[in-house]
Amino acid sequence: MDDNKKPERRRIPRMFAVGGILLIFLAASSIYEAWASEKEKETNPPPGEIVEVKGKDIHLHKRGKGDTTVVFTAGSGTASPYADMYELQEAVSKEHSTIIYERPGYGWSEPSAQERTIHNMTSELKEALERSGEEGPYVFAAHSMGALEVLHYAQRYPEEVKGIVLIDGVYPRHAAERTIETPMRSYVYKAMRNTGILRLLMQSENFASMEVDPYEQIPVDIREKNKLMTMQHRWNDTMIAEREKFNENGRTVYEGGDIGDIPLTILTADFPGRENWHETQLDMKDYSTQAEQEIIPHTTHFLHHEEPEVVIEAILKTAE
């Protein structure tokens, strides 16, 4: 017998043993993840109110009083819009009624069974606002992919929109022409979340800081809620379904035309590395006859965390 084959034969059972142990670990951690997520839902109730939209529970966080209602919407994959927009809402609610809208699958809102077309998303937003009790016309403050949502809302319901502030919002044509719809990291995060690996990694301060860095300036208890939402929702099926519709939704909004004379403020981050981003931000001015665009120095995509005063000032100006 060839002595060189003996180590190979011994290696195969070891590989099966390691594989079996790994499968047992993943099964056990997946069960624990499901249990932990349910326990967290019991001990971490929504800070705002729940309204029913298309048969699903949708979370709205309302603050302040005033004749104008400012509505905040977050970008794609943002686990907790409540945490993401917390600082802006705290400031703006001193002068106006405000609502942080958590779309289906985000924060404390249930996932939606509806296809994630921009038409369905704006219909959900409209119904949620109707059920909020706050009347329009609204000022919308939208980050990143939220731009598609609020621009299409203005295309469909212009009489309900007083003005729009885009926080490094995506240009519809840019979304329509992008070749990569859903980053591979989305599926990796989904797998890590479902198996409990993400929860395990979040115990590491270094890894957790990668997820919560933009939120360092908000109160500790709000950051903790963001951490819990990250472990529960990071790139869930609803978020991935939205990204898979990114091109199609971009085309729908781009082909929907401009929003007339609705005031539009375009706040743009200046960080390098995104092809044609600044050029498309300039093109976005064509969406309104009352459009203003400003590049905010020394900022990244999360400019509303880095220069919140600039964003707050723009929102307050639009809400006047």
Q: How far apart are CA 74 and CA 145, in angstroms?
A: 7
Give the torsion sign (CA, 225, 228, 230, 235). negative
**pLDDT for the residue numbered 256:** 96
Q: What is the mean pLDDT of the chain?
A: 86
**Is 70 exceeded by the pLDDT of residue 1?**
no
Residue 95 CA to residue 90 CA, distance in Å, equals: 10
For CA atoms 293, 296, 300, 302, give the dihedral sign. negative
Residue 230 has pLDDT above 60, yes or no: yes
Strands 97-102 and 161-167: unpaired
Highest mean pLDDT among 74-88, 166-180, 196-210: 74-88
Tell me the whole-structure pTM to 2 decimals: 0.85
Contact indicator for 240, 187 with CB cutoff of 8 Å: yes
Least confident span in 23-32, 117-126, 148-157, 276-285: 23-32
Classified as helix, coil or strand, 101 is strand
Residues 75-99 pLDDT 10s: 998 989 999 999 999 999 999 999 9
Beta bridge partners of 60: 49, 101
On whether the CB atoms of residues 223 and 79 are closer than 8 A, the answer is no
